[in-house]
Amino acid sequence: MSVTDLFLLLVWGTLVGVDLVSVPQMMIARPLVAGPVAGILVGDFETGLLLGLVLELFQLDVLPVGAVRYPEYGPATVAAVAASHWSGGPMALGIGTGAGLLIGLLGGEALHWLRTFNARAVRAASAALESGDVRVLARVHLGGLVRDASRACIVTATGLAVAWIATVIVVTLPPRAIQLAGIVAVAAALGAAATGVMRLVGRGPNLKWLAAGLVGGAVIAWIA
């Protein structure tokens, strides 16, 4: 664990956090993107890819409609990769996933707080906004961006702290417990993904296409 790694992960986690809502919305907040990049930053692409895949499965159970509350898996994935890498790499998959789920919940709460602060800022400037004051509009937008960046930075920093604590805890665990945690993490991720997919697909004609896709994918994987 080096200062450079911590700085790079903090910057990447902040960028991933603001991508979810503010800018640039390039989908880098998806765990499948955030994880591998975090892995490259710490020199452990395999761990980054594995954690990205596992947390992406959890992400599939999220339906971000309206003001619904949901975990934020972007910065959480960065923290998860750090926790797994510092705790032993791919073998510590369960440790990283646990840290990621915890930080994901924190990130979700932080998003709720951000919405509350943004709503207050808009209400405070409502008179000027209704009059068409462009400067006030720009200030409100900039304030929202700064708040979101600060939120993402704090969530990522907290996640990295949790990752460091995980490295201390993992030393006290027997190898079998670490392996079991990884199996549980993957099973839970598959269950969450299946629940999310079935909710989206429903029981109509799309269910047949889903079954066909699963069978076709299994056949291709078996042949390959």
pLDDT digits (tens, 9 = 90+) for 139-164: 888 888 999 999 999 999 999 999 99
Distances in whole angstroms, Cα of residue 3 to Cα of each of 27, 160, 169: 27, 12, 21
Q: List the one residue out of 8, 97, 85 whose CA is nearest residue 48.
A: 85
Of 13-17, 128-132, 146-150, 191-195, where does mean pLDDT reach its minimum? 191-195
pLDDT at 39 over 90: yes
**CB-CB contact of 114 with 158 (8 Å):** no
pTM: 0.85
pLDDT band at 205 (very low <50, low <70, confident <90, very high): confident
**CB-CB contact of 64 with 29 (8 Å):** no
Q: Which residues contact 48 (CB under 8 A, 6 or more apart)?
A: 35, 36, 37, 38, 39, 40, 42, 81, 85
The CA distance from 81 to 93, in Å, is 9
* Residues 176-202, mean pLDDT to the nearest whole number: 77
Q: What is the distance of C-alpha 80 from the center of its chain?
A: 9
